[in-house]
Structure 1
Amino acid sequence: MALTIQLAGNTYGITSIAFAAVFLYITSVIFYRLYLHPLRAFPGPILWRITSLPRAYHLARGDIHFIVADLHAKYGPIVRLSPVELAFNDVDAWKEIYGHRTGGHPELAKHEGFNISVNDRPRTVLTANREEHGILRRQLSAGFSEKAMRAQAPLIDEYANLLIRQLHKYCENGKVALNMKNWYNWTTFDIIGDLGFGSPFGSLRNASYHPWIEIITETIREGAFVRAMNHLGLQSVVLQLYRSGLMKDHENMELVRHKLNDRVNLGVERDDLIEALIKKKDESYLGPDRLAENANLLIIAGSETTATVLCGVTWLLTTHPDKLAKLVAEVRSTFKSDEEINLISVGSLTYMLACLNESFRCYPPVAGDLPRESPKGGVTLLGKYVPEGTAVSIFQWPINKNPLYWKDPEEYVPERWTGDPKYKDDKFEAMQPFSFGPRNCIGKNLAYAEMRLILAKVVYNFDLRIAEDSRDWLKGQKAYIVWEKPPLNVYLTPVVQKF
């Protein structure tokens, strides 16, 4: 019995020592991160400065952009979002974080620790190191040149015309509200399918989602959870999940490879987005796997984001009838027939460009951040020393609503982009929807032209009226890298053109 008591006492003592050691360790970590860490001087909520859990939680929840906006409003232009991360809400930070750096200082690299990708996967033009990025971007730039865009124009015009025919077919003379989220998604995915792979998904013609599009949507949401796990230091878990084949992205990439193989086997040259990469597919720096990864990136970046802006501008215009009326007047007075509206001619629509720019500000397709990492030896940003290894970024949603840069920041005012003196002090360079610097979006010009074409066709052919169940469309939306959009129901009444 005495031996039993002694063993019990020893077990209790060992347990107590273990608990004490754990408590001491946790207390030491908390004390270090609050009072001794190199980022201790930067403000932020105490819990966020101690642990990455709040950051990861809100990222996985899809509301991190809203939360960061609140934190900037409370703590100022630089906020500590985790023990090793800073968020900036300052117009000059675009150049300092994402731009070309002078004086022999290297550009800030992509932050590997928070990257969506895993080490097993080839890098894309978005995630490659500086040297590889330069090579890939030069190859891709051929498909996004002015010459290529003019060659692609008839194909894009064809899909815009198909959209209008389908809307006429299904709108029932304005008696039935159409879910424009679906129609825009179907159109942009079909366009990018043809431009990238030589054939569409067939969604627009069939008025239904191709199964691949639904897989892509799930993959985007999965990417947000991957980033959340990376923020918690669980990169090894992500790697094992990827290697196990359990991630939805595996299914997505199999479809990419199949579609890409069909494109390669066409055996003809096309003025599309990946012709230049296909020509280099056998070179050592590229290879079939990296070609597939970059093709996958083009599908997502060239379709989902464009559809998102079209949804946003449609919602904003239909909930601001005076702005919609001005746009309708511009489009219908510029063109005498629908046939005159094409990818090139829509470039003359100045108020439409203002409407799109203001939609980018109010509803950025990428509401979150693209983190960079401070280099060896640290870096000075906005006059503050940031130690090496720190993740730094700008969230588009907060800076687009910053009252220091925008008059009436919560209002939809396209006129601010047309020289209205009331908004002369706005800092237009604060808005960078295509990011900034050497890694900005290569498809910016094509995206603008495509959006102007589709929107011009729609407002020329139809009078638009928002359905009541979509009037508060933005309320409660989540953003998993890009927005997870609910139905956008709009009544479309065909217009009888007078000649």
Structure 2
Amino acid sequence: MDNSSQNQDRTATLWATSAYSSRGAFALLFIGAIVLRFTFYVVYNLFFHPLAKFPGPLLARASLLWRFWFSQSGRFHRVIEQQHSRYGPVFRVSPNELSFASATSWKSIYGHPPKGKSTLIKSEFYDMYGSGYDSLCIGSERDPQNHARMKKSLSPAFSTKALMEQEEIIQRCVDGFVEKIGHESKRETGINVSDWYEMIAFDILGEMAFGETFHCVENEEPHFWIELLTKHLFFITLIDNLRRVSLLFSIGRFLLPRFTVGVRDKHSGYSRAKVDRRLQSVSPRKDILTNVVDKVKGGEVSQEELTAHASTLVIAGGETISTFLAATTFYLCKTPSAYHKLQNEIRNRYQSYQDIDAASALQLPYLQAVIQEGLRIFPPGSQGFPRTSPGVMIDNYWIPAGVSIIDPLISS
């Protein structure tokens, strides 16, 4: 090999080495910048953030990782309760989020503010909750005035008088449930009452919101929509976590639709089909959406808003009712003395199953005590409903504007 060829090889090697070194240096610089940025982020959150004085787990005060992990695990409510036992009535859930746990804080966060004080608005979480529809609903509407309008339309359906008028609808579903449970309970293997409670809850809510049952109890299996709801709620939590980090949210908005759009569209599409049939129905019976249906037919409310309301009421009602029934049954079985006392009260009051009705059941003091205690020790929806501070005093703590606040039922 002549000198010219050797020089060319040497030059090529130098260029390759230089390029490799440049790429390596750039990679190190990039990684270093990320580490430095994260270090500044952690130091700021721990020592200079407006919420730095509030206690909480180190990882929760330093970053969003603590919140991400436990909220996606399904144990968020229990972990929150444990941390309140450790840190007291207020602690830091994430760098810009606080959890309170007192009767007075609950009123300050979710109650009507004193005259001249600002309302704590629902957080951006509710934007995720309302996805899939072209209209917001009673659950996802963040504007106080629009929410008040929706509440005015729906409230009459939840008065004691209105609910009593719907007793026949509920009783018909419950009769079918009792008959099925009586048959299934004869099996030596026993039954999973949680599944059955979920089925009866959704059957009742289907009747009351859409005007027709899901036929879960009749078919002895959950309706496919129940599984859709579970998936939908999981993705809502995931997207809510991702939105807190702009980079992750941008990536998530690109990737997640591949997984979520199918679930979301199937869920909302089924709701629209149900509402179409509800609007075409000429039945004179009243249910929880009768007042809104009349407004849709009169042009005051859009059909899409009605659909969003119906879907939300089924989700909120079905899951919470089944959770409450399962938890209360568990604690009654775990406490035989309470179980037998309740059993005796009911059997002494009624001669037969057919004698039971809502009006007389409301007069049973121990039954009402069991219901209240069940709601106290295992409240459904116990993870807390996030609100955004406008800059407000809560329990003698100044909460800066923009801070997210929750007050979980299970801790209050």
User: TM-score surpassing 0.5?
Assistant: yes
Q: Which has the higher helix share?
A: 2
Per the alignment, residue 303 of structure 2 pairs with 288
Moved more, 27-36 or 126-135: 27-36
CA displacement, residues 429-459 of structure 1 (integer Å, 9 cap, x when unaligned): xxxxxxxxxxxxxxxxxxxxxxxxxxxxxxx
Instruction: Determine if contact 1:185/1:303 at 8 Å carries over to the other structure.
Output: yes
Measured after TM superposition, the shift of residue 8 of structure 1 is 5.4
Map residues 216-365 of structure 1 onto 2, 5 A cutoff: 216-233=229-246, 234-236=248-250, 239-240=253-254, 241-242=256-257, 246-281=261-296, 286-365=301-380
Does residue 122 of structure 2 align to residue 110 of structure 1? yes
Q: What corresponds to 2:157 in structure 1? A: 143
Matched length:
396
- Look up the match of 2:47: 35
Helix, strand or coil for the counterpart of 1:79?
A: strand
Q: Which residue of 1 aligns with 2:211?
A: 198
* Deviation sequence 1:249-272 (CA, Å, 0-9, x none): 221111111111111111344311
Cα deviation, 1:205-251, whole Å, max 9, x if unaligned, reads: 22222222222233233333233323444444555545986352221
Of the three residues 184, 187, 203, the one matched with 2:200 is 187
Question: For 1:396, what is the secondary structure of its paired residue?
Answer: coil
- Letter of the 1:36 counterpart: F
The letter for the 1-side match of 2:182 is H
Q: Residues 216 and 18 of structure 1: is their aligned pair in 2 closer, same or farther, counting only changes over 3 Å?
A: closer
Partner of 2:176: 162
Query: Are the counterparts in 2 of residues 163 and 187 from structure 1 also a CA contact under 8 Å?
Result: yes
1:426 aligned partner: none
Match of 2:396 among 367, 372, 383: 383
CA contact (8 A) 2:123 2:386 kept: yes
Pair 45,269 (structure 1): closer, same or farther in 2 beyond 3 Å: same
TM-fit CA distance, 1:12: 5.1
Contact 2:90-2:99 within 8 A present in 1 as well:
yes
| Pairing partner for 2:228 from 215, 233, 252 | 215
**Does the 8 Å CA contact 1:118/1:238 hold for their aligned counterparts?**
no
Would you say the 8 A contact 2:130–2:140 is kept in 1?
A: no
Q: Distance in 2 between matches of 1:28 and 1:202?
A: 56
Within-5 A mapping of 1:461-472: none
Pair 134,189 (structure 1): closer, same or farther in 2 beyond 3 Å: same
Distance 1:390 1:175, change over 3 A: same
- 1:23 lines up with 2:35 in the alignment: yes
The alpha carbon displacement at 1:110 in A equals: 0.4
Distance 2:245 2:299 in 1: 35
- Look up the SS of the partner of 2:296 in the other structure: coil
Once residues 9 and 213 of structure 1 are traced to their aligned partners in structure 2, the CA distance between those partners, rounded to angstroms, is 56
Counterpart in the other structure of 1:474: none
Q: Which amino acid aligns with 2:286?
A: D
Is 1:97–2:112 an aligned residue pair?
A: no
Matched, 1:152 2:174: no
**What letter corresponds to residue 138 of structure 2 in structure 1?**
V
What residue in structure 1 maps to residue 99 of structure 2? 87
TM-superposed CA distance for 1:95, in Å, is 0.8
User: 2:235–2:260: 8 Å Cα contact kept in structure 1?
Assistant: no
- Counterparts of 2:97 and 2:265, CA distance in 1: 30
Displacement, 1:273? Answer: 0.9
One-letter amino acid of the counterpart of residue 382, structure 1 = D
What corresponds to 1:493 in structure 2? Answer: none
Contact 1:115 1:230 in 2 (8 A): no
Give the counterpart letter for 1:49 in structure 2. Answer: R
Aligned to 1:395: 408
Is contact 2:62–2:94 with CA below 8 Å preserved after alignment?
A: yes
Residue deviations 1:303-332 (CA, integer Å, cap 9, x gap)? 221111111111111121111110011001
Q: Specify the code of the residue in structure 2 equivalent to 1:61.
A: S
TM-superposed deviation, 1:392: 0.5
Matched, 1:62 2:74: yes
Tell me, which stretches of 5 or more residues in structure 2 are unaligned? Answer: 1-9
Does structure 1 retain, via aligned residues, the 8 Å contact 2:128–2:236?
yes
